[in-house]
Structure 1
Amino acid sequence: MAISARAQVFGSLRLDIATLNLFNFLAPPAAAYEFDRIYTQAQWQKKCDWLRHCITSLEADIIGFQEVFSVDELKDLMQELGYPHFAVVDSPRCEDYVCRAPVVAIASRLPLAEVSPVEPCPEAVAAMGLGDDFQFGRKVLRATVSLTDWGMLDLYVLHFKSPRPLFEPEALSGMSATPRLLAHRALGSFASRARRGFEAMLLYQALLKRRDETANPLVMMGDFNGGLDAAEFGGFWLEANAIHGNDRQRAGLGGLSEQAFTRAISHFALKDASVLFLEGLRYEHQSGARHITEPLEDLGHNRRPTHYFGSQGSLLDHILLSQDFDATLAPARGRVCHFAVFDEHLRRPQYERDSESSDHAALAVGLELL
C-alpha cells in the first residue's frame, strides 16, 4: 500500500487523515443557495488553486470533505493531486441552477475496499419518536480501507445540521415583531440542536452496530457544527460508571466483574484525536520514551477555532477515534503521532491566495499503526 512519506520518520507504518469543509465548492454558472451567489470563472480558479495549496500542505493519505456541490470537478482535482480513489454516497440537489443540498466526499491515495451510506436504524428512529421518513440531512459516508499486515479501518465522513434556526420566522404567526423574533430564535435554534442530536445519536447507534459486528478500528470526522461538549453529543462519551445498575442487569451484563464490564464498555469508546495526541505526549514524556522540548501546556489541550463568525471563533470540526489509538492503553493498535489545524487562511489570510478559500480550518491527524 502507498503510505505517507513521513512514515519513514517513525520507522513504522503511518497513515495521515484529514477533514475539510470546502465552503460552497460549486463551479459556475450554478449558484449556491441564492441566485446571485455564483463564482466568476476567476474566483472559481482561485478557489481551486487554494484547495491545491491546502491539500499539498496537509500531506494526508485520506481526506474527508464537506459542502461538495461539484462532485466531478472535485474528483478530477483530487486525481490530479495523487488521490485516485474518490467516492460520494449521494448527489447534490439543484433546481434551476440553484443548489441547496451539498454532499460529503472522500478522496484517498489508498484503495477503498468498501463505501456505503450510513442509514438510520428504523427501530431506533421509531423508538425516538421520529417520523418513518427521518433521514440524515446530509448522508453520512462510511468507507473502509484494508491496510496490509494491520487490518481494516472504517472511516466516517459527516456534516451535521447547522446552528441556524430550523425554520423561518414566518412559521410563527399571531405575534408582534419583538416576541416573534425571540420565539423564532429560541424555538428554531432548539429545533436545530435537537435535529443535530438525533442525527448524532442515530449515527452513534449505527457505529456501535458496525463495531460490534467487525471490531474494526474507526475514524469519525467532519463538520459537527458544534463543540464536543455540546449536550447533543453527550452519548458519545458514555462510560461504565454512567450506566445504572438496573440497566446493566436488564442488558444481561450483571454477572460481569467491574473490570470486565468497564472493558466491554470501553471497547466502544470514542476519543478526541487532539486529546489523544496531547495525552500520548504526556505519557511518553513521563515514561522517558520521548523527550519533549516544548512545555506540554503550550501544546494546548484546547484546540484553536475551526470557524469564525466575525471575531468570534468556534470549534466545529472534529476527528474522533476508537480507543484502538489510545497509546496509554495496552495493547493499543496505534497511536496519534501528529495533530494539526490548518488555519492560516483564517488567522493570517493573504488576499491573493486565500480570498476564495474556506470559512473552516482543515484538521489533520497522523496515526502510527502498531
Structure 2
Amino acid sequence: MSFRISTFNALNLNSAGLGFIGRLDARPLTAEEYAAKTGAIATELTALAPDIVGFQEVFSEAALRDACGRSPEMGDMEVHAPFAQPVPDPLGPAGQLVSDGPHVGIASRFPLVGQPSMITDFRPEAAPVVPVGRHSAMSELHLLGITAFERPLLRAEVAVDGLPGLVVLVAHLKSKRPKFLPGEDLDDPVIQALGAMRSLIVRACEAAALRAQVVAERESWVGGKRRPVVVLGDLNDDLGSVTTQMICGGKPYLSGGQTAVSRSTWRFRTRDMMLSAFEIAPPPPGQGHTHVFGGKASVIDHILMSADFAPVEGRQRARVLASGTRNAHLAPIVVGAALPPVEPFDPAAIQAKLREEAERPPRDPLTEHPRDARTDTPELGFDHGFPFADVELFPTP
C-alpha cells in the first residue's frame, strides 16, 4: 500500500466576515474573497491529492472544512483544527466574534484513533535552562521564561495498517520576524539584531520542546516496536539550521578519529532520529524549495520521518518512493477567476537557465538584488509551496 503525506501553509485562512485578534490592519474577507480563497486551496489540494496533510495558519476550522470539502480528493477525509474557533472580540461590541490564531490542523483519509489533541506547554524535561559562564565554567544557571509553544502543536494518532500507533505532529514554529519591545526604535540596527535574537531564542526553545515530544512518542512501544512518528510543519528554518537539526537529532556519523560505529551506538543514535523526506528521496531539480523571500529560495516547510521510513538497519517498515513540492504559491488569485495553470516541470529549461546565470557578469548585491517574490504574492494567495512525500509500506510479515 502507498499513500501521500503533505504539509500546507494556508496563509491566514479565515471565515468570511471574521476579524483577527491582534491584527488591526488585517481586514475580514468578503464573501467573494472567501470563495476565491477556499477555492484556491481546494484546487491545490486536488492537485496534491494527499492522504495525510498538516495545515498551518488556520484561523477557522469551519473554513478549513469548507476548503477541503470543495476538493473532490478531500471530501471523505477527517478534518480537524481544534483551536481554530471564533471567540468574543475583547475590543469590540458584546457578541461580536473574531478569530484567534494562527493555529494548525490536519486532514486524513485514514481514520484517527480518538480526537487530535493540542499541546501547548513544553514537557518538563524540555525546560530551557541556560548556563552562564565561559566554556564549561557554569557560574550561574538561568531558567528562561519560555515554557509554551506560541502556536500549539497538534498531535494525532493515525490508523494506518502496517504502521500501528503512527503519530503525526503538526507544528508551526516561531518565525524569523523580529520580536520588538514597546517603544524600541525599529530602525536602530542594534535593536533589529536584538529583535532577531529574541525570535531565534523562542524558536530554539520550541524546537527543543518538539524534540522532547518526538522522543517521548518514540519511547512508547506499539506491537513490540517503537511508535512511528511524522512531523509536518512550517519550522521557519531550513534543514541544516541548528533549530531544525535539534528536532531531527544526531545521526551516527564518524567523528573524533573513529573508523567504525559500534552496533550499540548505531542503534542508540538512530532510535529517535528524524530524517527529512527530501533527504530520503530527494526531489527533482526545481522542486526543492518551499519558500522565497528576499529573492532567495529555501526549504522551511518540512516532512520529518522516524527511522521506520528510511533504510536504517533493523527499523525500516516503509520507504519514501518520491518527494517534491507543488510551488504554485506565487500564482495570483483573482476573485471570480480560476488559478492559472502551473508551468510543467522542464529539466532542460532549468539547466539552460542555470547556464545562462553562470555566464552573466558579477552583480552588485545591493543595486541588483533579486526582487522579493513575496511582495508580488496577493492577499488571497499563498506564500509557501506545498511539499509532499509518497510512502510505500512494506508487507507485514
Q: What corresponds to 2:245 in structure 1? A: 234
Q: What corresponds to 1:247 in structure 2? A: none
Q: Which runs of 5+ in 1 are unaligned?
A: 1-12, 245-256, 279-297
TM-aligned CA deviation for residue 133 of structure 1: 6.9
Q: What corresponds to 1:82 in structure 2? A: 75
TM-aligned CA deviation for residue 130 of structure 1: 4.1
TM-aligned CA deviation for residue 353 of structure 1: 3.2
Q: Secondary structure at the match of 1:105?
A: strand
| 2:31 pairs with 1:41 | yes
Q: What corresponds to 1:117 in structure 2? A: 118
Structure 1 pair 313–327 and aligned structure 2 pair: CA distance change class (3 A): same
**8 Å CA contact 2:231, 2:305 repeated in 1:** yes
The correspondence of residues 253-272 of structure 1 with structure 2, limited to 5 A, is: 258-272=262-276
Q: What corresponds to 1:23 in structure 2? A: 11
TM-aligned CA deviation for residue 239 of structure 1: 2.9
Structure 1 pair 126–57 and aligned structure 2 pair: CA distance change class (3 A): closer
Q: Secondary structure at the match of 2:156?
A: strand
Structure 1 pair 326–149 and aligned structure 2 pair: CA distance change class (3 A): closer
Q: What corresponds to 1:291 in structure 2? A: none
Structure 2 residue identity aligned to 1:103: H
TM-aligned CA deviation for residue 345 of structure 1: 3.7
**8 Å CA contact 2:230, 2:306 repeated in 1:** yes
Structure 1 pair 105–313 and aligned structure 2 pair: CA distance change class (3 A): same
**8 Å CA contact 1:122, 1:132 repeated in 2:** no
TM-aligned CA deviation for residue 35 of structure 1: 4.4
Q: Secondary structure at the match of 1:166?
A: coil
Distance 1:41 1:88 in 2: 22
Structure 2 residue identity aligned to 1:362: F
1:91-110 deviation line (CA, Å, top 9, x unaligned): 45753455452110011111
| 2:230 pairs with 1:219 | yes
| 2:177 pairs with 1:164 | yes
Structure 1 pair 126–20 and aligned structure 2 pair: CA distance change class (3 A): closer
Distance 2:64 2:112 in 1: 17
**8 Å CA contact 1:93, 1:101 repeated in 2:** no
| 2:57 pairs with 1:57 | no
1:163-222 deviation line (CA, Å, top 9, x unaligned): 111224x444xxxx68x6212210010110110010011110121011012211111011
| 2:207 pairs with 1:183 | no
Moved more, 315-324 or 24-33: 24-33
1:42-100 deviation line (CA, Å, top 9, x unaligned): 11111111111111111111111001011122124424532441223424575345545
Q: Which of 325, 348, 351 is matched with 1:341 structurally?
A: 325
Q: Which of 304, 309, 332 is matched with 1:325 structurally?
A: 309
Distance 1:134 1:92 in 2: 23
Distance 2:106 2:67 in 1: 13
1:275-330 deviation line (CA, Å, top 9, x unaligned): 1013xxxxxxxxxxxxxxxxxxx934x85332223633332111111111113645
Q: Which of 127, 151, 154 is matched with 1:141 structurally?
A: 154
Structure 1 pair 127–93 and aligned structure 2 pair: CA distance change class (3 A): farther
Structure 1 residue identity aligned to 2:205: F
Q: What corresponds to 1:292 in structure 2? A: none
TM-aligned CA deviation for residue 31 of structure 1: 2.6
Distance 1:155 1:83 in 2: 19
Amino-acid identity (%): 28
TM-aligned CA deviation for residue 26 of structure 1: 1.0
Q: Normalised by the size of structure 2, how large is the TM-score? A: 0.73
Q: Normalised by the size of structure 1, how large is the TM-score? A: 0.78
Structure 2 residue identity aligned to 1:308: V
Distance 1:242 1:187 in 2: 37
1:225-263 deviation line (CA, Å, top 9, x unaligned): 11122222332231345899xxxxxxxxxxxx8221221
Structure 1 pair 22–216 and aligned structure 2 pair: CA distance change class (3 A): same
Higher helix share: 1
Q: Secondary structure at the match of 1:78?
A: helix
**8 Å CA contact 1:339, 1:366 repeated in 2:** yes
Q: What corresponds to 2:298 in structure 1? A: 314
**8 Å CA contact 2:168, 2:231 repeated in 1:** yes
